[in-house]
């Protein structure tokens, strides 16, 4: 192995070390900002996240497997780095105008196929060269792959902290991305002092300023012919205010939060529930206060309202853009506006509510799904006064209930019935669910009488509307379709409801996506999870007995580490948002905790002068212990610091394992990027199966139990291969000519 360049005092040459740090700095921050933008333009559910992250890891792994044509001088990466910065800005622009390239209107939903296509192109433009830069940096450091891994992880952790604490709270995605790019250019110019490429770096710096300045104008151009009046990136999502004629709509990550005026929506979200009881005193409204829900609650004499919103920007933008008379109910003395996560507020409240109304988007993502789970419904029941009513609505259909829609509604209905004695479903374009421990009624005459007694004025809750919408035939048909459909209970750690919603979403578009998702939903866990595990055990046994060189012996644990780590990351993210509810705002910090662990582990690995198979055995045993701890910790409501510490620990073990395995592998191989590529490709496989299938269909406990078994197999493999020496390849025998 060549010696790393050092200065006259024996210290590492900055010009050789800085490129590896910059690689992690740019790769992590560019990935984070592109993921935030990708989720905003492709409606941000976990299937979409999986498509983007999977594509990123796949191309990064393939890029690191490509052998370099020649070795670059220390300053030679200045030009490639400036080009990757420009490619990052091109990716942001590509996402912003993606609907025009697809021939759709702004805000129009698209299927999985276009999302996959954009993810694949973006990852190829950025992640493939970034993966290859890992190999080039290893060459700059004399083939010291562990040192490059450490510096890259350190750069990634540094950029993650910068993005989370400084940029996300104060700037938009484009502004934050421009700031990161400008910082990278400055580091290249100051630290590397490149002899070539200065004009290109100056162009990248000028482009950073232009991107920050063009953020809002480009958004307005992208939304034409609709009128975008304001946009704001917050820790909770991308908010955009759209004005069409006299209507104002507020969108979060491309999904509508509300449109105003929308009296029909506000009335159905409130009155079906509140007309069930008399003498209302305390009502809780989670979401929907600014869209007219608060005004409808105040029509009931004596009713006080707690109105909870997670993002303060929602209230601020509503006050700024809604007519004064529509926002006025939120200033009424009977209304208390609370800026907090709705589930956290409910858990900390004393309860005693006569009605709890949920007015949030349907469970299209795991983040929103946490308001439609058995655990949340149990919390709601405990905070209702005797006879209290719980209500929410989800999109449905006026007449025909398709099998996909029936299964989605059946999941919510079964989850409610597992908690409440009485559950009713109101037919219509939106299905309104009502739940209580006391009897409920959908009798049109009884509801119309309650309207008259209470003096509730409404546009759409007339006796004629009620008799048509609540006709016994319509109610009975909806009820029978829901009860006949196969149903599963939706839970915090088994968020199956958002998978069924994904089938509904995919079914709107022509293609194979919906059929594939339906087929996968019918596969039992034993076949989907245990059969591959048995096959993996057979493959490990064959490789262990074959004893063919160091490749399988040292690279299979690296692939297992990548696969395990990414699955644990996904599990922690879903469990974190189920418990705390604001993973969009904390996802950067959670991933940074893992990257910091990689830096710590790889740094500790370099301290050891010699690497041995005993180190691999120790690390695999550590993974087993952490998986057991994770399964216990993620099933309980512990402190918020727990998930960060868990990811830090997994990252530390992963970084240490990579350094040890790389040192052992490079004793017999000259391919500097092979170990890194195997790590990323293992992560690619993990993120695809975790986000798309395992977590929503079979849940986090099933995932962690199989991961524990898989790592037990890996531990056995490392033990066996360390005891059995590798079989040497037979020398070729050349026959002498006669």
Q: What is the pLDDT of residues 106-141, one digit of tens each?
A: 777 777 778 888 888 999 999 999 999 999 888 888
Q: Do the Cβ atoms of 410 and 365 come closer than 8 Å?
A: no
Is residue 227 situated within a structural domain? no
Query: In what helix (H) or strand (E) does residue 238 lie, and over which residues does it extend?
Result: strand 237-244
Angle at 376 between CA 565 and CA 699, to 5 degrees: 30
The predicted structure's pLDDT at residue 732 = 41
Residue 530 and residue 496 share a domain: no
Residue 707 and residue 636 share a domain: yes
Name the more confident of 39 and 189: 189
Name the more confident of 145 and 196: 145
Report the percent of the chain where pLDDT is more than 90.
Answer: 45
Residue 452 and residue 349 share a domain: yes
**Residue 211 above 50 pLDDT?**
yes
The predicted structure's pLDDT at residue 731 = 47
Q: Which of 215, 306, 359, 615 is catalytic?
A: 359
In this prediction, residue 276 has a pLDDT band, given cuts at 50, 70 and 90, of: very high
Average pLDDT of span 195-219: 91
Average pLDDT of span 217-242: 89
In this prediction, residue 735 has a pLDDT band, given cuts at 50, 70 and 90, of: very low
The predicted structure's pLDDT at residue 69 = 64
The predicted structure's pLDDT at residue 738 = 38
Average pLDDT of span 184-203: 87
Last residue of a domain, one of 186, 213, 240: 213
**Residue 33 above 60 pLDDT?**
yes
DSSP per-residue string spanning 497-562: HHHHHHHHHHTTSSSSHHHHHHHHHTS-HIIIIIHHHHHHHHHHHHHHHH-BSHHHHHHHHHHHHH
Average pLDDT of span 637-652: 87
The predicted structure's pLDDT at residue 53 = 84
Average pLDDT of span 43-60: 79
Q: Do the Cβ atoms of 540 and 718 come closer than 8 Å?
A: no
Asked if 359 is an active-site residue, the reply is yes
Residue 549 and residue 470 share a domain: no
**Residue 374 above 60 pLDDT?**
yes
Mean pLDDT, all residues of the chain: 86
| Pair of tokens at residue 582 | 């604001």
Average pLDDT of span 728-733: 48
Last residue of a domain, one of 213, 240, 257: 213
The predicted structure's pLDDT at residue 607 = 82
Average pLDDT of span 548-555: 69
**Long-range pairs of 239-246 with CB within 8 A, sequence gap ≥ 24:** 239/311, 239/313, 239/314, 239/317, 241/317, 241/321, 242/107, 243/321
Average pLDDT of span 581-606: 83
Is residue 243 situated within a structural domain? no
Residue 456 and residue 542 share a domain: no
Residue 542 and residue 479 share a domain: no
Is residue 641 situated within a structural domain? yes
The predicted structure's pLDDT at residue 736 = 38
- The per-residue pLDDT for range 12-22, each reduced to its tens digit, is 556 678 899 99
Q: Give the separation between CA 338 and CA 220, rounded to whole angstroms.
A: 31
Last residue of a domain, one of 213, 230, 262: 213
**Residue 77 above 60 pLDDT?**
yes
| Pair of tokens at residue 8 | 């006259």
Query: In what helix (H) or strand (E) does residue 385 lie, and over which residues does it extend?
Result: strand 384-395
Residue 329 and residue 279 share a domain: yes
The predicted structure's pLDDT at residue 134 = 92
The predicted structure's pLDDT at residue 71 = 67
Average pLDDT of span 634-645: 79
Is residue 231 situated within a structural domain? no
Residue 530 and residue 448 share a domain: no
For the four alpha carbons of 298, 304, 306 and 312, in that order, the dihedral sign comes to positive
**Residue 239 above 60 pLDDT?**
yes
- The per-residue pLDDT for range 683-693, each reduced to its tens digit, is 888 887 776 67
Query: In what helix (H) or strand (E) does residue 247 lie, and over which residues does it extend?
Result: strand 247-252
Residue 207 and residue 161 share a domain: yes
In this prediction, residue 642 has a pLDDT band, given cuts at 50, 70 and 90, of: confident
Is residue 731 situated within a structural domain? no
- Tell me the CATH number at 488: 3.40.50.150
Name the more confident of 307 and 571: 307
The predicted structure's pLDDT at residue 728 = 56
Q: Give the separation between CA 489 and CA 379, rounded to whole angstroms.
A: 16
Residue 534 and residue 658 share a domain: yes
Number of domains forming the structure of the chain: 3
In this prediction, residue 191 has a pLDDT band, given cuts at 50, 70 and 90, of: confident
Q: Do the Cβ atoms of 365 and 44 come closer than 8 Å?
A: yes
Give the global pTM: 0.88
Is residue 512 situated within a structural domain? no
**Residue 305 above 90 pLDDT?**
yes
- Tell me the CATH number at 79: 1.20.1250
Report the percent of the chain where pLDDT is more than 70.
Answer: 92
Average pLDDT of span 43-48: 66
Is residue 226 situated within a structural domain? no
Query: 11 lies in which domain range?
Result: 1-213
**Residue 253 above 90 pLDDT?**
no
Residue 576 and residue 500 share a domain: no
Residue 417 and residue 304 share a domain: yes
Is residue 550 situated within a structural domain? yes
The predicted structure's pLDDT at residue 734 = 39
The predicted structure's pLDDT at residue 180 = 95
* Interstrand relation of 304-309 and 335-339 (parallel, antiparallel or unpaired): parallel
Average pLDDT of span 640-657: 91
Q: Give the separation between CA 181 and CA 25, rounded to whole angstroms.
A: 10
Q: Do the Cβ atoms of 345 and 351 come closer than 8 Å?
A: no
The predicted structure's pLDDT at residue 368 = 85
């Amino acid at each position: 192995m060549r010696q790393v360049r050092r200065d006259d005092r024996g210290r590492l040459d900055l010009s050789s070390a800085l490129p590896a740090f910059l690689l992690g700095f740019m790769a992590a921050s560019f990935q984070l900002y592109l993921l935030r933008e990708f989720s905003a333009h492709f409606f941000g559910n976990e299937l979409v996240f999986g498509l983007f992250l999977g594509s990123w890891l796949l191309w990064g792994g393939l890029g690191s497997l490509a052998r370099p044509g020649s070795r670059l001088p220390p300053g030679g990466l200045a030009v490639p780095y400036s080009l990757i910065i420009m490619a990052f800005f091109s990716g942001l622009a590509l996402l912003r105008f993606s609907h025009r390239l697809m021939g759709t209107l702004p805000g129009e939903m698209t299927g999985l196929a276009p999302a996959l296509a954009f993810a694949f192109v973006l990852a190829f433009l950025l992640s493939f060269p970034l993966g290859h830069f890992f190999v080039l940096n290893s060459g700059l450091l004399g083939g010291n792959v562990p040192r490059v891994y450490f510096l890259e992880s350190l750069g990634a952790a540094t950029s993650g902290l910068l993005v989370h604490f400084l940029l996300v709270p104060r700037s938009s995605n484009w502004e934050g991305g421009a700031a990161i790019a400008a910082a990278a250019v400055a580091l290249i110019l100051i630290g590397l002092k490149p002899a070539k490429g200065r004009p290109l770096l100056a162009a990248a710096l000028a482009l950073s300023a232009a991107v920050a300045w063009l953020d809002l104008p480009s958004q307005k151009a992208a939304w034409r012919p609709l009128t975008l009046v304001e946009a704001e990136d917050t820790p909770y999502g991308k908010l955009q205010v759209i004005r069409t004629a006299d209507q104002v709509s507020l969108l979060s990550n491309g999904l509508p939060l509300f449109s105003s005026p929308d009296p029909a929506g506000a009335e159905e979200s409130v009155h079906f529930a509140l007309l069930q009881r008399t003498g209302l005193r305390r009502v809780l409204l989670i979401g929907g206060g600014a869209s007219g829900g608060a005004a409808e609650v105040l029509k009931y004499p004596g009713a006080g309202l707690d109105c909870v919103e997670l993002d303060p920007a929602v209230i601020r933008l509503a006050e700024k853009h809604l007519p004064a008379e529509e926002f006025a109910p939120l200033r009424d003395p009977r209304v208390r506006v609370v800026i907090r996560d709705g589930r956290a507020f409910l858990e900390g409240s004393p309860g005693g509510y006569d009605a709890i109304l949920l007015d949030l988007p349907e469970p299209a993502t795991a983040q929103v799904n946490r308001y439609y789970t058995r655990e949340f419904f149990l919390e709601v029941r405990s905070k209702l006064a005797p006879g209290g009513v719980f209500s929410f609505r989800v999109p449905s259909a006026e007449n025909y209930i398709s099998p996909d829609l029936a299964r989605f509604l059946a999941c919510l209905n079964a989850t409610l019935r597992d908690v409440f004695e009485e559950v009713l479903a109101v037919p219509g374009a939106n299905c309104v669910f009502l739940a209580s421990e006391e009897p409920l009624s959908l009798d049109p005459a009884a509801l119309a009488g309650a309207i008259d007694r209470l003096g509730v004025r409404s546009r759409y809750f007339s006796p004629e509307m009620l008799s048509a919408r609540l006709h016994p035939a319509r109610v009975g048909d909806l009820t029978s379709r829901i009860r006949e459909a196969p149903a599963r209970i939706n839970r915090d750690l088994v968020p199956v409801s958002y998978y069924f919603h994904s089938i509904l979403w995919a079914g709107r578009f022509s293609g194979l996506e919906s059929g594939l998702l339906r087929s996968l939903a019918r596969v039992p866990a034993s076949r989907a999870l245990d059969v591959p595990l048995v096959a993996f055990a057979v493959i490990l046994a064959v490789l262990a007995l074959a004893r063919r060189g160091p490749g399988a012996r040292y690279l299979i644990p690296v692939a297992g580490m990548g696969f395990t780590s990414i699955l644990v990351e996904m599990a922690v993210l879903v469990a974190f948002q189920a418990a705390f509810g604001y993973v969009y705002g904390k996802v950067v910090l959670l991933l940074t905790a893992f990257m910091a662990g990689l830096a710590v582990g790889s740094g500790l690995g370099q301290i050891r002068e010699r690497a041995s198979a005993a180190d691999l055995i120790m690390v695999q045993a550590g993974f087993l212990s952490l998986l057991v701890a994770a399964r216990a910790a993620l099933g309980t409501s512990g402190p918020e610091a727990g998930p960060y510490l868990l990811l830090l620990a997994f990252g530390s073990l992963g970084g240490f394992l990579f350094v040890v395995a790389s040192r052992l592998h490079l004793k017999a191989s000259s391919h500097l990027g092979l170990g890194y590529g195997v790590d990323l490709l293992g992560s690619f496989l993990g993120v695809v199966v975790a986000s798309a299938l395992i977590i929503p269909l079979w849940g986090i406990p099933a995932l962690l139990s199989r991961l524990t078994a898989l790592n037990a197999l890996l531990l056995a493999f490392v033990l066996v291969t360390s005891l059995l020496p590798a079989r040497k390849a037979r020398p070729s025998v050349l026959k002498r000519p006669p």
